[in-house]
Structure 1
């Protein structure tokens, strides 16, 4: 009995599938029409999207960076550090690069860099973002806001008038737009960092990617060497002071010795010995301070992180998006699925609802 029930269930399933396929086959013209509409919609959307070029730069920091305390300081500066999280400094090293790029100070610095494009000789990145094309439906979505902006006073919208403490809506929009086209990803396993830039101008994309890498290196180098530079500058000022005191003691001893060359008096001898001791002490202090200055100079150099650029920025020859064929195929498949669901279930459900409403009336 159990085996017969299993056979009957299998037959029911096979019959149900056969009925479904037969139903779809009977409405194959509708499916062809839906696929055609999907291809047409994908074609329109694919050609409406502007071409973008992507540039990827891969870099790897030296292994010595993982054991330094400067990186955890950078992470804490951007709100990433958490002593109770259980992650070591290696995790902070890998995670900090994408977060730094997302901060407003880094974005504001990037927006002020001059870039080269194929059409313009030189233009600021802030102004270039306004020249990029957008699909036609974005203008329809922004039409109400554009109409309202006509009745408002126009605010200054230049990179030279940016106040980081009080950003205008236009400036905030530029920052958000930059964060979308500039992305950084890190791989904890390979210790590799990839900087990606997607823009509509291939030359501009390569310039921005290269500038972002250098700016990121400068950002990290400046923070890691800041304390060492402060110590070095303080020691340098001390050296200048000790040097001045040493030269003054040297001049005082020389003048006194020249003025009392043939004088044999105990007071003269005592004063000469005192000046000579002061000169020796000043020379010793100046020599020791110069030694400490050389040590601090080595610490500044040691604190600088070293990055190996594995894959440098190059001008792309072909656009990375949009992939028109993939968009067309995707819309055609989506249209087929929607039409199939409607044929198999939608029509019957609508009929049942109509019958129910007629009976209630």
Structure 2
């Protein structure tokens, strides 16, 4: 009974405290309403100061390249080639490379050079467009001190003016590095290792430009992965193709040599002529067999190049967004109003007492 009484008494104290808090806030409701009003005004100012941003998302999924590889593996084994093929696990591994590829400088430089269209301009490259995107007014205000310091420092030292039009990946200028960072902020790639789904997201202030950049980024990523996966197979194919050309030339030469000798000695019945003719015929047969076998190997390697190419299923293609993704004005206004209520309530309940106690302590010390 004693524990129950203690719990009941504690609950009663909590209820009394809550009632006291509510009464204290109710007495200062005018100040709370003023704070909420100021929060709403700040929320409106900030939400309308942020530029509209349109988001485009493209979803990709890898498809297994195992179908139809058993027959190709059988043919490859006939010619003494390995029958291993690119399976789903390898496809998933290459898709996991997408986020890393986007961060690389060569990929960023290629994307920056793509031509795009906007609602205002028809012909502009992404490199130039990124410099036209608007910023909130406080970004310019915060940048004034840095500009002033940079202007003062420029009076005491000579800095080369960046007039470079070509881009050298080995030695980038400050402006080029800045554009690469801007691109990395607006282009994001995420890969889900469980489902192997890859999401490419582009956020720009122009909806048409966002859709074009997202679609171009996906195509570039596909090219990078395809080149990565087929590079070894292409090298083997090119090497075998050169061998085939060499064997083809030797076969034609042996064929012409045999034909010329046979035509020149058509009615001649001599043992030396017969022996030479048999030798040339054996050389022709051997050259034909080598050429035929090398052509078979070339066909297998051609199939391996095709087999190594990853298949990309575009689950969600790029579309021009009709409405901006941000800023969410109503959410910002509500958030500022709520924060104003919290801060004002904290000041009424605790801040005033702490302030007065601190002020009295200072008076006592004086």
1:18–1:254 Cα change, 3 Å: same
With 227-236 and 2-11 compared, the bigger mean Cα shift is at 2-11
Match of 2:220 in 1: 215
* In 1, Cα distance between equivalents of 2:93 and 2:150: 44
1:350–1:148 Cα change, 3 Å: closer
* In 2, Cα distance between equivalents of 1:129 and 1:184: 19
RMSD (CA atoms): 2.2
Matches within 5 A, 1:23-38: 23-38=24-39
* In 1, Cα distance between equivalents of 2:164 and 2:353: 57
* In 2, Cα distance between equivalents of 1:38 and 1:296: 69
Work out the number of aligned pairs and report it: 343
1:248–1:147 Cα change, 3 Å: farther
1:285–1:351 Cα change, 3 Å: same
Query: Residues 62-99 of structure 1, C-alpha deviation per residue, up to 9 Å, x if partnerless?
Result: 0348xx99799xxxxxxxxxxxxxxx868745532222
Match of 1:82 in 2: none
Q: CA deviation at 1:34?
A: 0.8
Match of 1:167 in 2: 172
Q: Is the 8 Å Cα contact of residues 52 and 322 (structure 1) preserved in structure 2?
A: yes
* In 1, Cα distance between equivalents of 2:271 and 2:147: 95
Match of 2:185 in 1: 180
1:60–1:235 Cα change, 3 Å: same
With 321-330 and 272-281 compared, the bigger mean Cα shift is at 272-281
1:303–1:346 Cα change, 3 Å: same
Match of 1:120 in 2: 121
1:41 matches 2:48: no
Q: Equivalent residue of 1:133, what SS?
A: coil
Match of 1:156 in 2: 163
Query: Residues 119-145 of structure 1, C-alpha deviation per residue, up to 9 Å, x if partnerless?
Result: 111211111111111111111222233
Match of 2:340 in 1: 335
Runs of 5+ unmatched residues, structure 1: 73-87
1:302 matches 2:302: no
Q: Is the 8 Å Cα contact of residues 247 and 291 (structure 2) preserved in structure 1?
A: yes
Match of 2:296 in 1: 291
* In 2, Cα distance between equivalents of 1:276 and 1:90: 49
Q: CA deviation at 1:180?
A: 1.4
Runs of 5+ unmatched residues, structure 2: 67-83
Q: Equivalent residue of 1:60, what SS?
A: strand
* In 2, Cα distance between equivalents of 1:291 and 1:182: 45
Q: Is the 8 Å Cα contact of residues 228 and 299 (structure 1) preserved in structure 2?
A: yes
With 40-49 and 260-269 compared, the bigger mean Cα shift is at 260-269
